Amino acid sequence: MGRLRSLLIPGVDKQLLVRDATRLMPDLTRRRFISGGASLGALTLLTGCDVSDSFSAEEMLKQISKFNDGVQAAIFNPNALAPTFPESAITKPFPFNAYYGLDDAPTIDGREWKFEVRGLVDNKKSWTLEELYNLPQVKQVTRHICVEGWSAIGSWTGTPLRDFLKLVGADTRAKYCWFRCADAEGYNSPLDMATALHPQTQMTFKFGDEILPRAYGYPMKIRVPTKLGFKNPKYVVSMEVTNDYKGGFWEDQGYNSFSGS
């Protein structure tokens, strides 16, 4: 203290110096208002359930979810294959799962159905089921992991999506393959291009060696073993290769869009 005091210019009145200094500080009542507001904000953060409805908390969570999309895209290894299982590990019966009951699942006439290809592709022709069935197919037994936490192992047979993208001359520098489905409410889902090009991402036509049953998405499902289940669209009617983020049925309601596994 003694040293500090000696630094003061001799002759300066300390009382006056303090008074001048306080005058330079912001108005005390204003400061109290700001700190009061901050603690009110902190309180609303602690009250739990109401927080989800609060605009600022929801905005913050959305921003972090977008950040998490980026982190997941960064750690996504295009060469890492999802674990495969022997046929004996297949879950029987494999669960039907949707936001509606099985009775409300789309009923599609395979002879009428056409798969439309749009957007940044050279060949925009629509594909009949028969034409798609003629493409080379592979079988894989992988685990389907639901966002809810349950999982089931299934056997899926179909054409690797990356082969099809090459066939139709898709611009694989585009950001998304955006799928639309025949579900009543229009089940859409954007799939990032890196995942679309993953060797196990498949246009699926068969489940357990049988033509894909209605419950699992007849006539075509996109099977993505590197994603959570809701990112595996069923009853697919079209694909658009695009740079625009067009949202999806569950993504729009708050599920993380990347949702990689």
Partner 1 sequence: MSSLAVNDQHTVAATPAKVIQPAWVRTLHWINAVAMILMIMSGWQIYNASPLFDFKFSSSITLGGWLGGALLWHFAAMWLLMVNGLVYLALGLATGRFRKKLLPITPEGVISDARAALTGRLSHDDLTKYNYVQKLLYAGIIVIGVLVVLSGLAIWKPVQLQYLTALFGGYDAARYVHFICMAAIVAFLIVHVALAVLVPKSLRAMIIGR
Q: Give the residues lining the site for partner 1 (CB under 8 A).
A: 1, 14, 18-19, 22, 48-49, 51-53, 60-62, 64-65, 68, 75-77, 80-83, 143, 145-151, 225-226, 250, 253-256, 260-261
Cα 61 to Cα 237: distance, rounded to the nearest angstrom: 32
Backbone torsions φ then ψ of 59, nearest 5 degrees: -60, -45
Query: Comparing C-alpha atoms, which of 129, 252, 99, 110 is closest to residue 189?
Result: 252
**Please, what is the minimum distance in Å from the beta carbon of residue 61 to partner 1?**
4
Residue closer to partner 1 by CB (options 98, 135) is 98
Residue closer to partner 1 by CB (options 76, 133) is 76
Provide the pairing of β-strand 210-211 with 202-207. Answer: antiparallel
Cα 148 to Cα 170: distance, rounded to the nearest angstrom: 33
**Please, what is the minimum distance in Å from the beta carbon of residue 100 to partner 1?**
17
Residue closer to partner 1 by CB (options 79, 112) is 79
Q: Sign of the CA dihedral 34, 36, 42, 45?
A: negative
Residue closer to partner 1 by CB (options 83, 186) is 83
**Please, what is the minimum distance in Å from the beta carbon of residue 128 to partner 1?**
33
Radius of gyration (C-alpha) of the chain in whole angstroms:
29
The residues, any chain, with a CB within 8 Å of residue 32's CB and separated by 6 or more, are none
Cα 188 to Cα 116: distance, rounded to the nearest angstrom: 14
Lookup: tokens for 38: 């901050």
**Looking at residue 223, what DSSP letter applies?**
E
**Looking at residue 254, what DSSP letter applies?**
T
**Please, what is the minimum distance in Å from the beta carbon of residue 52 to partner 1?**
4
Q: Sign of the CA dihedral 200, 144, 230, 259?
A: negative
CB atoms within 10 A of CB 189: 27
**Please, what is the minimum distance in Å from the beta carbon of residue 208 to partner 1?**
21
Residue closer to partner 1 by CB (options 60, 210) is 60
**Please, what is the minimum distance in Å from the beta carbon of residue 258 to partner 1?**
11
Transcribe 16-36 into DSSP letters: HHHHHHHHHSPPHHHHHHHHH
Residue closer to partner 1 by CB (options 65, 238) is 65
Residue closer to partner 1 by CB (options 68, 172) is 68
**Please, what is the minimum distance in Å from the beta carbon of residue 192 to partner 1?**
14
